[in-house]
Structures are given as structure tokens and as C-alpha cells.
């Protein structure tokens, strides 16, 4: 994998200066075009052998760019805010919006690489981490990001020499002393981990570019030229849409579906409702104040037919919770800032920190429900979203978050009754619009989308609970009871 | 993942018979069209919960098809021939050629699933196995195969009832007794392993179809209808070609490449050559007769410029080897039988069994060399081949095979001298054709393909050795010495 990257390249100063002068102008112009077009973000990621001078290699490129539209991010130790959330949260926070350039040193590769090199992570676990990074980058790329990843390489001899030099100077020897990789002692481990990393995560969408790092002029020119070519190519030609093969589905033999076989006649009497409500609200409060909950948090997803009673159910959940401990996030059409980012971005930002409850009144499932049915995104987009959502929830679950998802189901007649009642009740009239009636016309399409969503995204770590919601009392208790059970199970 | 597959479907006998009569004719007709078109093979794979009646579900479909063009393969314990080769070898042997249908029960999923369910395989290792299956199936699909995978599902209660019934009958109780999964005791483990399996390997190219298995009529109809629809859809419309994004490469700053920086002046005197030849041939013999070698085998790949001396080097390798222990495989254009299979098929068949040496005079690298340069395959085909080849070699390496690869490099002048000498030497004239001269005109394109090949496929488990071959003595000794070193390293 590193054969060509072990060939030395001697670029002398005058050749460099000549090339640099040319590249400088072209790169800045390309950046202006990028900003003006505002159609995609550029993510530049760099890593490499110790002593390869990763930062040095990037400095020229960063310097010539318009600094208002480029940020270089080091991967320092995470802040408390960051450690209390899934490990990718800190990177999502800093993703460049469309038109901007983000330069990352190490980024999401740093922790897995160090773990593997020091032998704390086994080969299979490292493989899994790399697969998960591959899917993340693939998603960012499919959402439009131009991703370039540089690996600055040194052969063993050159590295040894380089590190000696760094150690001899008072000004630079801290770089070796503070290195988590212990200098050149782990050369073979670094090379082999990097090989595995490149084999898995080096894709057409997010390629690795291995660069020989012995000559500073050479590596600087390679970086500038690669970025320039890639931006120009992308501006000239947007990526082709991947054709979507027709999905294979279980053929419909008898018309029975997940929703059609639901028993919506479940009911609860008022007395029984009140008793149980109190019981589960108390229980929930207890759980949230449990000492063990300090290392967890809860994400509650509420989806359902229009007028199925999401709002009412949410109110019963939060009624006696400490308002500092929860946040209700409601989602409608994305804002301009949100549209400049991948679709999951606006949900990533609202992931609760440890000890908190994040409530999502509508959620990332909009992608495979309203966006699918109303054709706000392409078929390829919503089809790939099932996997992306499963990854997103797995990421949360690994970080200790209990993900609980509800589909509140009512039938078509019940919906009509509720719509009409809303129109007639003064303070509820704002809740019913023409759009609600229009959505209702697409009942069957939504039903199909809901069945697909549940089949593809109900997983053991983040299962869907279908709530029979024709009776509001029954529905609210089922919601509260499920929340208590699932939190308790996780805290055990 | 199994929500819809847990809904029961009651299909009565008369409904079944009516549907079956229709499907029977249509399926047979579709198969005739498939045979006539001869454009793709159909791979049907089935697995499921114990007691789900996987075989029963397939029987009707198999019975109605023309039996000369469909084979159902059980996954029995492997034969000795099979255990002495990489685990996928037995499946490659039985892959249906274009126009034919192969039905597999369990197949490549059986061993990983059992390992995971019984807790012998950790989650990360299972993940890795599934990723590798995903890549395999993806490759088969991209090479044209239509792949359908059925998962026959039972919920926990239904399974318990079913297994009890099987145990009560003398005729069927062996099924439970001999089951590697121990009946219903592992229900949750099976479900969770199946979920992980479906999340990773359920792709557009090779989808999983979860089928409720409680009603025998229902599952039979689902299988027949799914196969019918998929064959008809594929016959009507071949899969769209995926667009290939322009690759990002290290920009050329100073014209230096892997081959241009090679020192071809290495030489060896005749006396020294003879001595070393004897030494390494003896050593090789020793290694091949080493007791430890019985659990290994060797694959030698010889690629190189025309007239670089591959044949001569191979002769020196085999000169004193026991002819029962090696086989030289030479590859030219594929035969008709080979063209009806994925391109790697003709190499898989020749993988040596334990204790043997398989020599490949040209190899699977034809895909990224001659097929790339001469445009015998599409750019998408050779670009994805790097990863497929790495997987293929990893599979061999895991099975104990030492994979050693040589690129014999000569320069353009040396090649001209050798071509002319061949034309003038009577018994060597058959070795030089117009095609050789034509290939020579594409020297630069071949050079680029060789550099890419080495960069993408030289891995720590199967590294390339570049042999400076302007001097034949030097080249042959480097080849023999490398073989001895790499076998010795592996046997240690």
C-alpha cells in the first residue's frame, strides 16, 4: 500500500517557489468559486507517521486560502461537554457547511489508530471501527461533501533520522516526548494499522492519498495540487447519481401488513388511567434521579399519524420531570443553516448529554416518512437512510443512550373524527391545517412507508414500539410504561 | 427487523392450489427465458429459525423448475478436499454458471451463524465475517448474479410449538436432536445474530427477504413469487452500470514512479549464480518437505513485462520439486466455461491443497493489467478488482496459504533486445508474436497499471516483490531467495 509513498522526491527551493506562486493564485480562485457556488463543503483530513510533519504539510494550503472560510481543527482531548456524548458528536459540531473548507488533523481516526497501535484494540474491533467510519464518510460524501484524506508517510529509516533530529532540538523534543505512539518504537504496528485503515476506508468517495513526507516542498505541493484539482473537478462536474435497483420485497399474498393487523380496540377507563399515570410518572422520576442514570441519557422519538396524540403523550411524560433535565425538540422544515449540512446534522446537535432526556417530536425518521412520500429527497436518499439511521442509533446506544421509539397509530376514521373536533374547538384550531387534510389523502403511501421504516429500523438496541392510539388513555400509559421498562432494563 | 415477519398468514389449501397452478407455469417459462438468454446465474440462498422448515419452503419451487438447470446444495460437513482449502472454495466449486439456478441451504452463513449463536465468535469477529460475505456477494452480483436470500422466521411461541411437534414424531425428532443450535434454547441468540447478519449483508444487490414460516402454503407462495418476479425483472432490464467517479491520485510533481526509480543495473556472475541457485533450490525442497508445511500451501504469482523471464524463473523454482507437489497454471484468454462465471472463478479452482505449491504464470492480476489496458473490461470492473483481489488473497492467507507475488521488470531497451533475439533463435520463435510488439507500444499505459497494481494490492499478508530482471541470473536468485524467506517466515 505504501510502495510509491516510500519513493523520495527532492524538490528544490526554486522549483517549489515557482510552482507555489502558480498554485497559490489558482487555489484561492477555486475557493472563491466554491464559496460562490455554495454547493458542497470540503473536508480535508490528514494523518501520518510520527515525524512526518502533518501540520507543516498543511500550513501552506491553509495560509493561501481565504481564512474566513477555512478552519483547521486539531484533535485535542475532548471537553466535558464532548465526553458526555457519543464520540462522533464533537466532529459533527465542526463540520463545514456548504461552501466552506474544514481541515482536520487526525479527527475520527486518532482514537481508533492509537488503540490499535498500542494493542488495546484487537484486529476485529479495529475493523469494525473502520467500517463504521467508512459508512460515516460515505454518507457525508453522498450528502455532497468533497472528502480528501492525506496519509503522510515515511519509511523506517527516514523516520528514525527525523525523530532523532526532533529530539535533539529543545524546541521540538516535546513532540516526541508527548507523543502517544512513543516515537519510532511502533513503526511496524503503525504501518500495519494504517494499511488496514486504508484498505477499508479508502473509497472512491473518501480516498486516502499516501504522500511521501521526506521533502517539505514536495508534500506541500502535493497537498495544494490535490485540493485544487479536486475542487475544480467537482465544480466542473457534480457527482453522478447512483442508479437505484428496484428493491426486492416480500410479495403481498394476502394483504396483511404490520399496521392492518393491529388491534386498535384497546381501551383504558379513566380511573385506571389516573392511577397508572401517577404510578409511571413517579417511576420515571425515580429512574431519572437514579445514580446510575448519570452515565446514561434517554432519547425519546415520537412519530405517528397526524392527530394520533403525540403532543398529549409527550406532555404526560414531562409533567413531573425537572425542566433542567429534559428538552423537547420539535422539527418542521429545516432552516437555511441546517440545509447547508447533512440531514442528520440537526439531530446530532440535540443529542442530550449524560443524565438528560432528549424528546424528539418528529425526528430523523422524517427522511423515510414525509420526505419519502412527498418526494422531498430522491429514492436513493431515503433508501440509504435506513442504514444511516441504524448507524446513528447504534452510535448513541454505544455511548450509553437509551433510544426509545414510538409509532402512535390511529385508524382513518378516528383521524377524521379528531380533525373535525379540532376544527370545532377554538384553542385547537391552530393544530389543523389544509396540509393535514392533504397528507390524509396519501394514507396508503404513508402506511407503506411506516411498515418499511419499522421493518428496517427496529433493532434490538433501538426497537420501535407501536402504540395503539385510538384510545388516548391506553396510548399514554403504554408510552410511559415502555419508557420506564426500557430505562430500568438498561440501568440494571 | 422481523416485525412484519412475525405476522401470521393463513393461506388455505384451495387458495394455495389456485395460486400454485398459475405460478408453476409462469416460473417454468421464466426459467426457459433465463436459460435461453444465458446472461446471468441465479443464486437462491435460504436460512432460518429452527423448525421453520427451510427445505419445505424451497421444495415446491425446486420441483416446478426444469431439473436439468437447477441444483439444490445442502451445507454438509466439508470433505477432506474442501477442508484443505480456503473455506469459500467449496462454494466457488458449485456456483451456477450463467443461465442456471443454484439453491443453497445455509451456505456461507452456516458456520459463522453457528459460531455466533453458540458464543464461540465474538460480535466484532462475526461482524468481520459478515462484512467479508457482503463483499463476496456484492462481487458476485456485480459480475451479474441475481441473488435472493430468504430468512424463514418464527416468533418464539410458534417456534416452541413447532419444535415440540417435531420432537414428538419418531420420524422427525432427529432433526432436533442433531441440530447444532440445540432447539429453541437459543432463540434470542439466533434472532440477534440474524439481525446483525441482515443489517450487514442485506443489500440492494443481495437482499434478505424475511418470511413468516408458520404456514407452509404461504411460505411456498412467497418463495415462488419472489423468484419469479426477480427473474422476470432482471430479464426485462439488466442492472444499470454504476457511474465511476474520477479517482483521486497523488499528483505527479517530478515524474518519479515506482518503476522509473528502479535500479536495473543489478548483476550476478555465473559462478555466484550457480552456487546460490543450488543453495536456494535445496532450501526450497527442505521447506516443502517440512512437517509444518502439511498445514500450509504456497501460491506463487508471476507477472512481468513480456520477455522479462517469467518462464525461466519458474523453471528454476520447480527444477527439483516433486512433480506431485506442484502445478503450473498458465492463463491465456478464458474458455467458454470460464466466461460463464465470475472472473476469479478460474483461479479459485486452482488453489492448491495443503502441502502443495500452486504456480501462476499470469494470474488474477490480468484484470488490472491486460484487461484494463486493452479495455476488455469496464473501468468500474478493474477499479473494484483491487479490493476483490485483496479479499481473495486474504482468504487464502487465512487458510494458511503463503501468497508470494513477483513483478519481473525489465526496461524498454532490454525488451527490444530480447524480442529480436527470440525472432532470430529457431526454437524461441514461437515465443514472439505481433501481439508482443503491439503490447510494447502501450508501454506507458502498462507501466501506470503496474504502479497502481502494486500500490493497491501489496499488503502485509501478500506483498509484491519487484524483481529487477535485466539480468536473468540476478532475477532468478532474487525470486528463489524471496520464496524461501517468505515460506520460512510463515512456518516459524
What stretch of H or E contains B332? none
Q: State the Cα–Cα distance between residues B224 and B213, nearest whole angstrom.
A: 14
Out of B187, B215, B236, pick the residue that ends a domain.
B236
Nearest chain B CA: its distance from A10 CA (Å): 8
- Least CB–CB distance from B256: residue in A7, A226, A459: A7
Cβ-contact A209, A146 below 8 angstroms: no
Within 8 A by CB and 6+ apart from B151, the residues are: B5, B46, B47, B48, B194, B198, B208, B209, B210, B211
At residue A117, does pLDDT exceed 80?
yes
Contacts of A211 in chain B (CB under 8 A): 250
Contacts of A458 in chain B (CB under 8 A): 1, 3
At residue B175, does pLDDT exceed 80?
no
Nearest chain B CA: its distance from A393 CA (Å): 13
Q: What is the pLDDT of residue B183?
A: 67
Q: Do residue B203 and residue B274 come from a single domain?
A: no
- Least CB–CB distance from A246: residue in B131, B233, B248: B233
Domain assignment of residue B252, yes or no: no
Instruction: Tell how strand A146-153 and strand A42-48 pair up.
Output: parallel
Q: What is the pLDDT of residue B52?
A: 87
Nearest chain B CA: its distance from A320 CA (Å): 33
CA A217 to chain CA centroid, nearest Å? 36
- Least CB–CB distance from B124: residue in A125, A229, A251: A125
Chain-chain contact of A254 with B9 (C-beta, under 8 angstroms)? yes
Domain assignment of residue B347, yes or no: yes
Q: What's the pLDDT tens digit per position in A406-422?
A: 999 999 999 999 999 88
Q: What is the mean pLDDT of residues B244-248?
A: 83
Q: What's the pLDDT tens digit per position in A434-471?
A: 888 888 889 999 999 999 999 999 999 999 999 999 99
Q: Do residue A62 and residue A193 come from a single domain?
A: yes
Q: How far is CA B294 from CA A286, B10, B297, B298, B485, in A?
A: 64, 56, 8, 11, 18
Contacts of B131 in chain A (CB under 8 A): 127, 131
Q: How many domains does chain A have?
A: 2
- Exposure string of B449-467, with b = 16+ CB inside 10 Å and e = fewer, is bbbbbbbbbbbebbbbbbb
At residue B172, does pLDDT exceed 80?
no
Chain-chain contact of B1 with A458 (C-beta, under 8 angstroms)? yes
Chain-chain contact of B4 with A454 (C-beta, under 8 angstroms)? yes
Q: Do residue A191 and residue A321 come from a single domain?
A: no
Domain assignment of residue A295, yes or no: yes
End-to-end CA distance of chain B: 46
Give the phi and the psi of residue A144 in degrees, each rounded to 5: 120, -20
Out of A181, A213, A236, pick the residue that ends a domain.
A236
Chain-chain contact of A256 with B7 (C-beta, under 8 angstroms)? yes
Q: Do residue B207 and residue B345 come from a single domain?
A: no
Cβ burial, residue A363 (10 Å; 0-12/13-18/19+):
buried
At residue B325, does pLDDT exceed 70?
yes
* pLDDT band (50, 70, 90) for residue A223: very high
At residue A155, does pLDDT exceed 80?
yes
Residue B128 grid coordinates: 468481520
How many residue contacts between A and B have a Cβ separation below 8 Å? 157
Q: Do residue A291 and residue A427 come from a single domain?
A: yes
Q: Do residue A479 and residue A377 come from a single domain?
A: yes
The chain B residue lying nearest A126, using CA atoms, is B124
* pLDDT band (50, 70, 90) for residue B182: low
Contacts of B244 in chain A (CB under 8 A): 204
Domain assignment of residue A416, yes or no: yes
Q: What is the mean pLDDT of residues A314-327?
A: 92
At residue B179, does pLDDT exceed 80?
no
Q: What is the pLDDT of residue B407?
A: 98
Q: What is the mean pLDDT of residues B169-179?
A: 75
CA A384 to chain CA centroid, nearest Å? 14
Contacts of A397 in chain B (CB under 8 A): none
Q: Which of B4, B115, B203, B240 best probes binding to A when mutated, by most A CB atoms within 10 angstroms?
A: B4
- Least CB–CB distance from A195: residue in B9, B221, B460: B460
Nearest chain B CA: its distance from A254 CA (Å): 7
Q: How far is CA A89 from CA A345, A399, A431, B370, in A?
A: 10, 10, 34, 46
Cβ-contact B243, A242 below 8 angstroms: yes
What stretch of H or E contains B318? helix B310-318
Quote the crossing angle between the two packed helices A379-398 and A443-457, to the nearest 10°. 40
The ipTM of this complex is: 0.86
Q: Do residue A280 and residue A404 come from a single domain?
A: yes
Q: State the Cα–Cα distance between residues B368 and B375, nearest whole angstrom.
A: 10
The chain B residue lying nearest A451, using CA atoms, is B4
Residue B392 grid coordinates: 481473495
Domain assignment of residue A228, yes or no: yes
Contacts of A451 in chain B (CB under 8 A): 4
Q: Which of B127, B152, B253 best probes binding to A when mutated, by most A CB atoms within 10 angstroms?
A: B253
Q: State the Cα–Cα distance between residues A329 and A335, nearest whole angstrom.
A: 14
- Residue B432: CA count within 13 A, CB half-sphere: 20
Cβ-contact B303, B362 below 8 angstroms: yes
Nearest chain A CA: its distance from B431 CA (Å): 32
Nearest chain B CA: its distance from A263 CA (Å): 13
Q: Do residue A356 and residue A410 come from a single domain?
A: yes
Domain assignment of residue A241, yes or no: no
Domain assignment of residue A263, yes or no: no
Q: Do residue B232 and residue B274 come from a single domain?
A: no
Chain-chain contact of A226 with B251 (C-beta, under 8 angstroms)? yes
pTM for this structure?
Answer: 0.90
Domain assignment of residue A244, yes or no: no
The chain B residue lying nearest A12, using CA atoms, is B254
Q: State the Cα–Cα distance between residues B379 and B381, nearest whole angstrom.
A: 5
Q: What is the pLDDT of residue A247?
A: 83
- Least CB–CB distance from B254: residue in A9, A148, A199: A9
Q: What is the mean pLDDT of residues B235-264?
A: 88
Chain-chain contact of B253 with A4 (C-beta, under 8 angstroms)? no
Q: State the Cα–Cα distance between residues B151 and A259, nearest whole angstrom.
A: 21
Contacts of A254 in chain B (CB under 8 A): 9-11, 218
Poorest-pLDDT segment among A315-329, A351-365, B74-88, B372-386: B74-88
At residue A183, does pLDDT exceed 90?
no
Q: Do residue B292 and residue B419 come from a single domain?
A: yes
Out of A236, A257, A289, pick the residue that ends a domain.
A236
Q: What is the CATH number of the domain that holds B78?
A: 3.40.50.300
Q: What percent of chain A has pLDDT over 90?
A: 71
Chain-chain contact of A248 with B225 (C-beta, under 8 angstroms)? no
At residue B181, does pLDDT exceed 80?
no
Contacts of A205 in chain B (CB under 8 A): 245
Q: Do residue B141 and residue B191 come from a single domain?
A: yes
Nearest chain A CA: its distance from B124 CA (Å): 5
Nearest chain B CA: its distance from A224 CA (Å): 10
Cβ burial, residue A237 (10 Å; 0-12/13-18/19+):
exposed
Q: Do residue A19 and residue A130 come from a single domain?
A: yes
Q: State the Cα–Cα distance between residues A95 and A206, nearest whole angstrom.
A: 15
Contacts of A16 in chain B (CB under 8 A): none
Q: What is the pLDDT of residue B13?
A: 92
**Which residues constitute the domain of residue B101?**
4-236
Residue A285 grid coordinates: 422520576
Q: What is the pLDDT of residue B244?
A: 82
Q: What's the pLDDT tens digit per position in A327-354?
A: 999 988 888 889 999 999 999 999 999 9
Chain-chain contact of B242 with A242 (C-beta, under 8 angstroms)? yes
The count of other CB atoms within 10 Å of the CB of residue B91 is 18
- Least CB–CB distance from A128: residue in B9, B127, B249: B127
Q: What percent of chain B has pLDDT over 70?
A: 98
At residue B143, does pLDDT exceed 80?
yes
Nearest chain B CA: its distance from A369 CA (Å): 17
Amino acid at each position: 500500500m505504501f510502495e510509491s509513498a516510500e519513493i523520495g522526491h527532492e524538490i528544490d527551493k526554486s522549483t517549489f517557489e515557482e510552482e507555489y506562486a502558480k498554485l497559490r493564485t489558482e487555489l484561492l480562485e477555486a475557493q472563491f468559486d466554491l464559496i460562490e457556488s455554495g454547493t458542497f463543503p470540503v473536508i480535508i483530513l490528514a494523518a501520518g507517521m510520527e515525524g512526518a510533519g502533518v501540520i507543516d504539510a498543511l500550513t501552506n494550503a491553509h495560509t493561501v486560502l481565504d481564512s474566513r472560510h477555512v478552519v483547521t481543527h486539531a484533535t485535542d482531548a475532548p471537553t466535558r461537554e464532548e465526553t458526555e456524548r457519543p464520540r462522533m458528536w464533537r466532529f459533527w459540531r465542526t463540520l463545514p457547511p456548504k461552501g466552506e473548507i474544514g481541515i482536520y488533523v487526525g479527527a475520527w481516526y486518532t482514537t481508533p489508530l492509537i488503540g490499535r497501535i498500542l494493542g488495546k484494540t484487537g484486529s476485529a474491533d479495529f475493523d469494525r471501527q473502520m467500517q463504521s467510519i467508512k459508512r460515516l464518510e460515505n454518507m457525508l460524501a453522498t450528502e455532497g461533501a468533497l472528502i480528501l484524506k492525506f496519509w503522510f508517510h515515511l519509511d523506517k529509516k527516514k523516520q528514525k533520522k527525523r525523530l532523532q533530529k526532533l529530539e535533539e532540538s529543545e524546541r521540538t523534543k516535546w513532540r516526541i516526548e508527548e507523543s502517544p505512539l512513543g516515537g519510532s518504537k511502533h513503526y511496524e504496528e503503525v504501518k500495519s494499522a494504517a494499511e488496514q485503515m486504508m484498505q477499508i476506508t479508502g473509497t472512491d468517495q473518501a480516498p486516502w492519498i499516501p504522500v511521501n513526507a521526506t521533502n517539505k516542498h514536495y508534500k506541500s505541493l502535493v497537498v495544494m495540487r490535490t485540493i485544487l484539482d479536486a475542487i475544480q473537478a467537482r465544480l466542473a462536474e457534480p457527482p453522478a447519481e447512483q442508479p437505484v435497483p428496484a428493491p426486492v420485497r416480500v410479495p403481498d399474498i394476502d394483504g396483511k401488513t404490520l399496521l392492518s393487523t393491529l388491534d386498535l380496540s384497546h381501551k383504558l377507563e379513566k380511573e385506571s388511567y389516573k392511577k397508572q399515570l401517577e404510578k409511571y410518572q413517579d417511576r420515571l422520576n425515580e429512574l431519572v434521579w437514579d445514580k446510575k442514570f448519570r452515565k446514561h441519557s434517554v432519547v425519546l422519538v415520537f412519530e405517528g399519524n397526524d392527530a394520533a396524540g403525540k403532543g398529549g403523550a409527550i406532555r404526560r411524560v414531562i409533567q413531573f420531570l425537572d425542566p433542567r433535565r429534559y428538552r423537547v425538540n420539535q422539527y418542521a422544515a429545516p432552516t437555511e443553516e441546517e440545509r447547508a449540512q447533512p440531514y442528520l446534522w440537526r439531530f446530532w446537535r440535540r443529542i442530550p448529554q449524560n443524565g438528560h432526556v432528549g424528546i424528539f417530536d418528529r425526528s430523523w425518521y422524517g427522511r423515510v416518512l414525509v420526505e419519502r412520500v412527498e418526494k422531498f429527497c430522491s429514492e436513493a436518499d431515503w433508501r440509504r437512510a435506513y442504514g444511516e439511521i441504524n448507524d446513528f442509533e447504534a452510535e448513541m446506544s454505544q455511548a450509553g443512550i437509551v433510544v426509545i421509539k414510538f409509532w402512535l397509530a390511529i385508524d382513518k376514521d378516528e383521524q377524521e373524527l379528531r380533525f373535525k373536533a379540532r376544527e370545532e374547538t377554538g384553542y385547537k384550531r391552530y393544530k389543523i391545517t389544509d396540509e393535514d387534510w392533504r397528507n390524509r389523502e396519501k394514507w396508503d403511501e404513508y402506511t407503506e412507508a411506516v411498515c418499511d421504516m419499522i421493518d428496517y429500523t427496529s433493532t434490538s438496541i433501538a426497537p420501535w414500539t407501536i402504540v395503539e392510539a385510538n384510545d388516548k388513555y391506553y396510548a399514554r400509559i403504554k408510552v410511559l410504561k415502555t419508557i420506564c421498562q426500557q430505562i430500568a432494563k438498561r440501568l440494571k
